[in-house]
Amino acid sequence: MSWRKSSHSDPNECVELAWPAEGGAVRDSKNADGPTLLFSRPGLAALVTAAKAQ
């Protein structure tokens, strides 16, 4: 899986996104070997929409 981090991210508070075939994946960029959250594409779209609203 290829992970991407926003160019606007803070080095101490950032998540990375990847796009596996089944949807989307999110992880803490400071803990690359830690847990990964997997989402369906609609689920990830809802997460991003909710985060933008904050």
pTM of the model: 0.74
**For the residues 22-35, what does the mean pLDDT come to?**
90
Cα 32 to Cα 17, 29, 35, 36, distances in angstroms: 11, 6, 8, 9
The confidence score (pLDDT) of residue 32 equals 86
DSSP for 17-36 reads EE--TTSEEEEETT-TTS-E
Residue 12 has pLDDT above 80, yes or no: no
User: What percent of the chain shows pLDDT beyond 70?
Assistant: 100
